[in-house]
Amino acid sequence: MRIPLGARGHAGTSALLVMLTAVACLLVAGLPRTMQASFDAALRQSLTTAPAARTDLTVTGDPAMPYGNLHGRERLEALDPQWRGLLPAALRPLVRPAGHMSVKTVRTPVVGTDNHINPGWLSDADRRVDWVQGRRPGQPSTMRYGDRTLPLFEVGVVDEAVGMMGLRIGQTKVIGYPVSAALRIVGVFKAKDPADRAWSHDIDILHVTRVVSEDAPDRFHTTALVSDDGLATLTGNVRDVTYRWVLPLDGRAASALDVAAIDAAVTEFQRQLEVEGTSTTNYRLATGLPQLLGDFMAALSAARTIMYLVLGGLLAVALGVIVLGVRLLTDRMDQALALARARGGSLWQVAGAGGALTVLVVGPAALAGYALSFLMPGPVLPIVHLGPAVVVVTAVGFAVARLVLAHRTPLHESRDDVVATRPSARRVTLDVLVVVVALAGAYLLRARGSAGSAEQDPFLLLIPIALTVAAALITVRCYPYPLRLLVRLTARGRAAVPFLGLTRAARARSASALPVLILLPALSVSVFAAVISDGIAATQRLASWQKVGAPIKLTSVEDIPAEAIQRVREAAGVEQVALALTGRTQIGATGERPSALAVDLAQWRQVLGDAPVDLPTLSGGTSALLSPALGDRGTFEIMWLSPMRLTTQGVIDSIPGFSTSGQFLLVPREALPWPAANTLLIKGDIAPAELARLVPSATVETQEQVLAAIQADPLTGTVRSTLLVVTVALGAYALVAIVLSLVVGAPGRVRAVSLLRTLGLSDRQARRLTVLELLPLVLVTALVGLALGLGLPAALGPGVDMSSYAGGLPVGDYTPGLLTPVVLAGGLAVCAVLGAYAHTAVGRRRNLGAVLRVGDLP
């Protein structure tokens, strides 16, 4: 048999199969690459936006005085290559060569004061600071203090310490307890680039730390810089010295595929440092990288679960549609192959010819889709190579298997449209077992929830597949029975079209199973994707409102003057303004200092309007709502502006826009002794920059900005965009499946309609007959797929934590917007009706003599 001639003879079917195969291979090979690229981008963004102190690897040495001291810059620099040599292989590509070192002291009091000045040293101070007053520190000297001689260090202090601590150039401070050294301030510096991520390691140098005490004056801590010359003297004369070697991490080189290896490498590096410790110095690793990677892996695990589910469903549906196309191709070849078989061709020659033709059609198309997938960004994963191979093997394997079964004997003639086939007891038992296992698995998943691991949970992936297969089996087995009841009802009527159409639809033919197995997962997965996407979007919006608490929130570090509030009220675009006061209170009986909010709840509700957040209710001017950490206090007294006596009205979990955990309380604004306000809750259309101009001491935060920040996360964008692509692709595949099911059953349907036309069937009745034959299966499958898609999020809810994509709030409410699911299901039904009408219109043009064989007419 000439294979190219066969392909040319069935050009239309071959072209359709080529398109289906190319698109399937493009999606199967391209979407995983795009997903992995977004996973990598999310990890890199997480590593590059986090403070450097969390991501960098900081080797910390704590010497046992005085034997463990490292005297001089050279000794410190000599250890840096040693630490880099201990790095495991997974960490070496991520660590930049340029790091820095520091030597710092802590808890060094200034004699005669409550303040602390901790002398320290930075290896790259010349690069990171500018001296704005005085000069750089020089060599140390000595000074007499009582009957002792103390080392005297020349130091520089940050400009912030000049105002907060009253320091000035020329001052000499004696430090230590007991007294160990003296400091002479010779210069004042400030950071060249305060936004440099490296400052997160040395925040104590860049800023003064203020310690607030309840029963004592505030204390200040700052770190003063010494020179290289003073380093050797520093390490031998000041207690509590710590050495640090910072190995900066380059987050741009990280890959999500290596997260587990990186996490294990950090643990191994920490173990190696502990081994390097001696009796004089202990070395340890200080980094927040494991926690950051753990949070990322939790988010990544949820994303992978959803992606595997929807992509697995897409692959299954694509394979089903391709199998339908292969079936159509083999049906068109049936007569030629049957003739070859009757003329002495062996079974394997006939099956091989059909398989070769299938390879000729789908092979180049698969290669084309595979090649186009390399235009998409992302690493080449194993599935990129495996997916197209699975498509080709499935198509060719189905073609060969079907031809082997169909042409086991020459001149096969059979009719499966007369009586319904009865499944065997073994088949029924297997179907029941699949349904029971699927339901039991769904129950266990609901009962146990997530496996609690960042690794992929196989149980979470298998249960949706089992539920889909079970629903498809139930649909295939059960949908004829209600139709047979309708057939009995229509048999009593005088109209023949309803009886004939429903009778043909109710017959359990083998050709009906494949469209169900395609349409049901296509609908269920697409509806599932739409529901998940809607749930994430709704929770993102809720999270943004919970974080801000109003359309616009203006917060000041000090009380906002009344004239500034009036300017805001009169600004163009401002509709409503609610005043609030936030601050720290002190409970008189216990001394606890919870945060407090005083606000007019009625005005706040007007500002919120129809926002998806609920505000509590306060009944009286002295009532208060307390957090669970405070509990029910009955009647108690607080100190806030002035003594206030409050009565506990209830307990609340959070205050939108203000407090979500810890100790806090909410009081009515009328309880304040005077109308102070440092926060404005605003409703209206006004630019944040304009509000910042009206109140210069305030920061402005809007709900729209927070929502945009949540949605801008790479993982969140990937999940939602992939769900959208899969929903559209599955809808398209479902439509193609309906069209192919029409075409596959066309010969028998056209022959039956043509025969009935000889008996007086009109064109209108022919269209109704075709619609009644096809529509029940599509409607039943659409309803089952819709119900399964709506139920899958609830079934998987405990096992899939989507809070990482919704601003930290759990996505538990999967109440769907029914528009998308109903449009999908209704669209398929409408397309089935239109297809039936089009199919009837095409069949009407055929000559009855070309359709009916001799003997078909009565």
Lowest mean pLDDT among 11-25, 274-288, 336-350: 336-350
Task: Please give the model's pTM, rounded to 2 decimal places.
Answer: 0.75
How far apart (Å, rounded) are the C-alpha atoms in residues 127 and 106?
Answer: 24
Tens of pLDDT, residues 224-268: 999 888 887 776 556 678 889 999 999 888 888 888 899 999 999
The residues facing 58 across adjacent strands are 246, 286
Strands 642-651 and 281-286, by their bridges, are: unpaired
Helices (H), 745-808: 746-758, 763-796
The rounded Cα 124 to chain-centroid distance in angstroms is 39
For residue 825, give both structure tokens: 């299901």
CA 800 – CA 19 distance, rounded (Å): 35
Give the Cα separation of 233 and 228 in Å (integer): 10
**pLDDT surpasses 90 at 269:** yes
The pLDDT value recorded for residue 514 is 67
Residue 414's pLDDT band, with cuts at 50, 70 and 90, is low
pLDDT of residue 355: 83
Structural contact between residues 388 and 29, judged by C-beta atoms closer than 8 angstroms: yes
Place of tokens 């409970």: 587
Q: Residue 452: pLDDT above 50?
A: no
Tell me 222's DSSP state: E
| pLDDT at residue 94 in the model | 92
Structure tokens at 17: 């199969």
pLDDT at 614 over 80: yes
Using pLDDT thresholds of 50, 70 and 90, give the confidence band for residue 315: confident
Q: How does 693-705 read in b/e, with b if 16+ C-beta sit within 10 Å?
A: ebbeebebbbbee
| Percentage above 70 pLDDT, the chain | 83
Report whether pLDDT(214) > 70: no
Q: Look at 781 and 10; give whichever has higher pLDDT.
A: 781
> What average pLDDT does the structure give for the chain?
80
Q: How high is the pLDDT of residue 825?
A: 67
Q: Average pLDDT, stretch 667-684? A: 88
Instruction: Please list, in sequence order, all residues whose beta carbon lies within 8 angstroms of the beta carbon of residue 668, skipping any fewer than 6 positions away.
Output: 598, 599, 600, 601, 618, 620, 621, 623
- Paired sense of beta strands 642-651 and 623-626, if any: parallel
User: Helix axis angle, 714-744 relative to 289-342, nearest 10°?
Assistant: 10
pLDDT of 6 > 70? The answer is: no
Burial of 549 (0-12, 13-18, 19+ CB in 10 A): buried
